[in-house]
Each structure stands twice: as structure tokens, then as C-alpha cells.
Amino acid sequence: MARNLDLTALRAFTTVAAIGSVTRAAALLHLTQSAVSMQVIRLEQMLDARLLDRTARGVRLTPDGEKALAHARRMLTLNDELLDRMRDVAPEGEIRLGVPHDIVSRCIPAVLRAFAADYPRVSISLLSSVTTTLHQMFAEGRCDVILTTEAAPPAGGTELVRLPLVWVGAEQGTAWTRRPLPLAFENACVFRTRAQDALDAAGIPWDVAISAESSRAVDASVSADLACHVVIDGFDTPETAPVPHGGALPDMGDVGVMLLSADTGRDPTRDRLLEILRDVYGALAPATRRPLVAASGGLARIRS
């Protein structure tokens, strides 16, 4: 007897796999956390395999989950394509989205997948830069929607979430113990002056060891234990980690992730993108914060 897989369960599984969190997937799917968990469990029972493992930092795919994911995505894509083809009324167009590079990798892939599932014929041009540059591009009409990271909402902007800033360094590194404290920042990074002012106020000498145009150059220097850096909590790269300074470095306070959209009248595709951005970034607040251990974040074009 043939068995049929539940597309709702497949969509729940692929969304959790993309975001790495049942809680944030539930917000994106407009379901309760328990409903999403039950959908994944139902799929596991259908396939007679465990697809996800829970970890301290979220969930991750099991080997069986890795095998199932590609097939699940193809099935959902075919489902959505068939519906669009039969309706033949799917919107087309382009939305230019600007995002600070340090908050792209963790959330934007899930945003793009969710948007493409609803509007496969609308392309998103993703532009990644620093907040000051994104503001300039938005003012010049070169971006339709931007996210920024700053202390207070700009004119016309709304705050999606407020998160703490943390010092990061190499895994088990010692750069944070040196004086003057070696710093690594992009030239236009909005956190650079803030970190230097906080160190001055705390009476801690510092030196700019690395000043670069590229965030990758900064990340490489920090992961090599040549300097320290400041990032939004939860957005450190895999090669770096929050510094266990136990209060030896100043508290950096927090920062907001802000959303700005061009006022071009009602646009269902843009409104859906804004909704997804609010859901994905807004769901970060309770899951991102991590306590510090005592001492002993170019241009890419994506076609959906």
C-alpha cells in the first residue's frame, strides 16, 4: 500500500533545518512551537528515522536528516511551482534588499527561502555593506528595503529586536588580556568608535592592530588571536567566540536591528518580505543572549 508524505510536515522540517531553531521556525510559519515539533515528529515516524538532534545552540540535522532535506526541498518546490503554474498569476519583479554583512549569514538564508516559497518569480537583489553605506544607498533610491544596526531607530525606521554587543576573540585566545588591547575593525564599522570610547572610559589602553575594508579580513585576524572585535551577541563567526573576560573589558551595551522600507504604496510582495524579516529577526531576542564565562559579521545577487 502506497504511503503519502505530508507536505505540511515537510515544510515544518525544512524550515527548522534552515533556521536551526524550532522557536524561530514556529514564528515564521505562524504556528505554535509544539505544532512545529509535532509536525517534525510525524515526519520522522513516516520515514522511520530521526531527522533532527537538539543541541545547546539549537537543532542540527542528523545523517538521515541530511539525506531527507534535499528531497524534501525538491518536493516543496514542485508543489509550489505547480500551484503557481495553474494559477498563472504569480507576481514578478525585483526587490533590492540591503543588510549589514555581520547579520546576514545567520538569518537571511531563511528569509530568502521563505520569501521564494511564496513568490518564486520575484527576485531579490541582496546588497551587503555597513550601516552608513546602506543608509546612503537607501536615500539615493538604490535599495527598496534595508536593515541597519544602530542605537536608536532612524527616521521612518522600526526596531525589530535589541541585542547586546559582546567582545569576541579566537577560541581559547589570549589577545583580550594584552595591553594595549589590540583591536580589529572595518574602517566604517559603526561599533568601532563605540568600543574605543568604552575602553577610554574604563581606562584601558588600546591599539588598532587591524584596520580593514573587508569583514573577512577582520574575522581572519581575530580568529588568528591577533586582536579582539565587537559583534552583536549570537552573530560571531564559527572561528571566533565571546571573550570570557569576566568584567575585565567594558560592557558594550546593546544595539537595535532596524528596518526601513521605501514608501511606494501597497505592494504585497514587499509587505510579505517585511513580515518575514520581522518574524525571523524578531524571534532572536530570547534565544541569542548567552552569559559570559568568568575568566580562570560585497554584493550578491540571488535569483529566487
SS3 call for 132? helix
CA 291, 100, 180, 199 dihedral sign is negative
Looking at 70-74, 78-82, 182-186, 286-290, which range is the least confident one?
286-290
Could you read off the pLDDT of 109-137 as tens digits, one per residue?
Answer: 999 999 988 888 899 999 999 899 999 99
Mean pLDDT of 15-19: 86
Helix boundaries (H) for 88-205? 108-118, 131-139, 192-202
Using CA atoms, how far residue 278 sits from 55, 73, 75, 149, 272, in Å, is 25, 24, 27, 14, 10
Per DSSP bridges, beta strands 229-232 and 145-150 are unpaired
Longest dimension (CA), the chain: 74
Looking at every residue in the chain, the average pLDDT score rounds to 86
Tell me 103's DSSP state.
G
Q: Which residue has the higher pLDDT, 84 or 204?
A: 204
Could you read off the pLDDT of 65-76 as tens digits, one per residue?
Answer: 999 998 998 898
ω into residue 291 within 30 of 0, thus cis?
Answer: no
In whole angstroms, what is the distance from residue 123 CA to residue 134 CA?
A: 19
Confidence of residue 291 (pLDDT cuts 50, 70, 90): very low
Give CA torsion, residues 123, 129, 132, 138, to 10 deg: -10
Looking at 35-44, 47-56, 90-99, 288-297, which range is the least confident one?
288-297
CA 84, 89, 93, 95 dihedral sign is negative
Tell me 107's DSSP state.
T
Confidence of residue 44 (pLDDT cuts 50, 70, 90): very high
Using CA atoms, how far residue 28 sits from 34, 115, 287, in Å, is 14, 11, 15
Q: What is the pLDDT of residue 264?
A: 67
Q: Which residue has the higher pLDDT, 122 or 296?
A: 122
Q: What is the pLDDT of residue 292?
A: 36
**Is pTM beyond 0.75 here?**
no
Do 83 and 280 touch, CB atoms closer than 8 A?
Answer: no
Q: Which residue has the higher pLDDT, 18 or 279?
A: 279
Taking alpha carbons only, the member of 103, 227, 216, 106 closest to residue 169 is 227
In whole angstroms, what is the distance from residue 303 CA to residue 115 CA?
A: 11
Q: What is the pLDDT of residue 265?
A: 67
pLDDT at 97 over 90: yes
Q: What is the pLDDT of residue 198?
A: 96
Q: What is the pLDDT of residue 28?
A: 84
pLDDT at 226 over 50: yes
Q: What is the pLDDT of residue 209?
A: 92
CB atoms within 10 A of CB 287: 14
DSSP letters along 17-48, please?
Answer: HHHS-HHHHHHHHTS-HHHHHHHHHHHHHHHT
* 301 φ/ψ angles, rounded to the nearest 5 degrees: -115, 120
Q: Which residue has the higher pLDDT, 28 or 223?
A: 223
Buried b (16+ CB within 10 A) or exposed e, 43-52: bbeebeeebb
Residue type present at position 302: I
Could you read off the pLDDT of 147-202 as tens digits, one per residue?
Answer: 999 999 888 899 999 999 999 999 999 999 999 999 999 888 889 999 999 999 99
Q: What is the pLDDT of residue 244?
A: 92
Find all residues with CB under 8 Å of 267, minimum gap 6, and list them: none
The helix or strand, by DSSP H or E, that contains position 232, with its residue range, turns out to be strand 229-232
